[in-house]
Amino acid sequence: MSAEVYEIIDVILNVCSVFFLVYLIGYSTFLFASVVAGASALYQKKRQERLKNTLMEDYYVPISIIVPAYNEEVTVVETVRSLLALDYKLYEIIVVDDGSKDETAAKLIEAFDMHRIRRPMRRQVPCKRAEFVYECISEKVSITLVRKENGGKADALNMGINVSKFPYFICMDADSMLQHDSLARISRPILEYDNIVAVGGTVRPVNGTQLENGRVNKYRMPRNLLAAMQVLEYDRSFLAARILFDMFNGSLIISGAFGAFKKDVVIQAGGYDTDTVGEDMELVIKLHDYCRACKMDYRIKYATDAICWTQVPENMKDLFGQRKRWHRGLFQSMWKHRNMFCNPNYGLVSFISYLYFLVYELLSPFIEVFGMITVVLAYITNVLNVGFMIMFFVIYAVFGTIMSLTAFFTRTQTVDLKLTPGDAAKAVLLCFFEVTCLRMVMAFARMSSFFGYKKGKNQWKKIQRKEMNWK
């Protein structure tokens, strides 16, 4: 190669190095700020709880729990049983069977002695046709089963909204379990503020943990290493970013596994979008969009202490599939609401939340792969300082590891979960792998989500289900 070409490559690499430095400093600063903010918020919350700075009502608002289910015959009965054990006075359970090919509906009908009923529907948000409705009124709260034509999770949730009786609804997954006090905790903000339109709960992996009547009986890190790494990842994600975004009403995502919504506002906004796979994120962004367009005074809160336990994938294939679907959903939601990009009308939601999700979530796999290519190019052109690069990488990884561990230990300490020394050691060891190896693999999975994008547009997730470890 001529000297001119080397010079051009050198200039490009210099520009790249400045870009990556800014990118990494930006991410590290965000991670640090969010972990510190999250940890201090949790310790403050713990102090408030201990010193009775909390509302102590029997129940707060009547709530409809919507459980969309597709081929969930293994877990659906236990999920409903766990919902019946919740410490809350006024709620109803609605299971929407989205045209399952297995015995989901039959298992429920048999387990709860349900009876077919001709129930009129109030179609306030679009959804596919109902095939039949069963009800059970002999339990603590009413249980409704709606079997409908297959239309995807968002469509099933819309059906649940149409069938629900109460002014607030909770969406959750059929493979998840709510902690005994989670309804009370997720609905508290509704009485604390007059403008709540949605409240997000905290999702924690249940793998390895034993629950009894919605209470943690035994908390262990999962034996499966992949699941154990996800425990660390979930804690970092729920402790860090979400608490920070919550501080300026900038939450852009409420997990589909556990969130409470004000029904009339969701209906006015059009309900769940059946064209996206990331219907949970899309709904929250849509609520920001709708409320700001209507000049409504609104608030979307995050309840750190409202806990939902969920099964996380224990093999690479399922995890890959899940992350591809999440990333696809992220892309669809952000693209659909691209008007939020650097738009002063959306304030900090645009300039912090949207920008963060764009740069550090949506584009990050591309940036990371681009980074690797740059390293190879720099090596070939002999401008790479290998020693410095390794040091930089190690320090970055140590930093990420410590932030993750801080999130993990803060979370376990503030919710009074007892960790065994073995589990603590496991967390320390796995954290480094999670930050370095798993993150790289996930970057690849997320990038590949764009391949075959059309084909898998609105499929239900199909991860391998296990009988849940609760009584």
Q: Is 297 an interacting residue with respect to another protein (CB under 8 A)?
A: no
Q: Is 398 an interacting residue with respect to another protein (CB under 8 A)?
A: yes
- Going from the C-alpha of 316 to that of each of 144, 236, 358, 433, 443, the distances in angstroms are 36, 20, 25, 15, 13
Q: How far is the CB of 409 from another protein (least distance, A)?
A: 6
Nearer to another protein, 350 or 401 (CB): 401
Instruction: Give the bridge partners for 96, in sequence order.
Output: 68, 146
Q: Is 403 an interacting residue with respect to another protein (CB under 8 A)?
A: yes
Q: Is 53 an interacting residue with respect to another protein (CB under 8 A)?
A: yes
Q: Is 372 an interacting residue with respect to another protein (CB under 8 A)?
A: no
- Helix ranges (H only) for 279-437 are 279-293, 316-336, 347-348, 355-356, 364-380, 386-414, 421-433
Angle made by CA atoms 345, 350, 351, in degrees to the nearest 5: 110
Q: Is 425 an interacting residue with respect to another protein (CB under 8 A)?
A: no
Sole window of 6-14, 46-54, 82-90, 246-254 interacting with another protein (rule: CB under 8 A): 46-54
Q: Is 413 an interacting residue with respect to another protein (CB under 8 A)?
A: yes
> Residue 38: in which H helix or E strand, if any?
helix 3-50
- CB 260, CB 287: distance < 8 Å: no
Nearer to another protein, 35 or 269 (CB): 35
Tokens 């408030």 -> residue: 48
The single residue among 2, 3, 50, 382 that binds another protein, judged by CB under 8 A, is 50
Binding letters toward another protein, positions 6-25, x by CB under 8 A: ---------------x---x
At residue 95, the 3 state secondary structure works out as strand
Binding letters toward another protein, positions 151-190, x by CB under 8 A: ---------------------------------------x
- Going from the C-alpha of 166 to that of each of 64, 263, 320, 324, the distances in angstroms are 6, 8, 37, 34
Angle made by CA atoms 406, 411, 417, in degrees to the nearest 5: 125
304, with CB counted inside 10 A (0-12, 13-18, 19+), is buried
Residues 97-116, interacting with another protein (CB under 8 A): 115-116
CA atoms of 5 and 178, how far apart (whole Å)? 61
Residues 70-89, interacting with another protein (CB under 8 A): none
In sequence order, the 6+-apart residues with CB closer than 8 A to the CB of 369 are 443, 444, 447
Q: Is 385 an interacting residue with respect to another protein (CB under 8 A)?
A: no
Q: Is 409 an interacting residue with respect to another protein (CB under 8 A)?
A: yes
CA atoms of 115 and 133, how far apart (whole Å)? 8
Q: How far is the CB of 214 from another protein (least distance, A)?
A: 23
Q: How far is the CB of 25 from another protein (least distance, A)?
A: 6
The single residue among 316, 395, 425, 441 that binds another protein, judged by CB under 8 A, is 395
Strand duo 115-116 + 168-172: pairing: unpaired
Q: Is 302 an interacting residue with respect to another protein (CB under 8 A)?
A: no
Binding site for another protein (CB under 8 A): 21, 25, 28, 32, 35, 43, 47-48, 50-58, 60-61, 115-120, 122, 135, 137-138, 190-194, 391-392, 395, 398-399, 402-403, 405-406, 409-410, 413
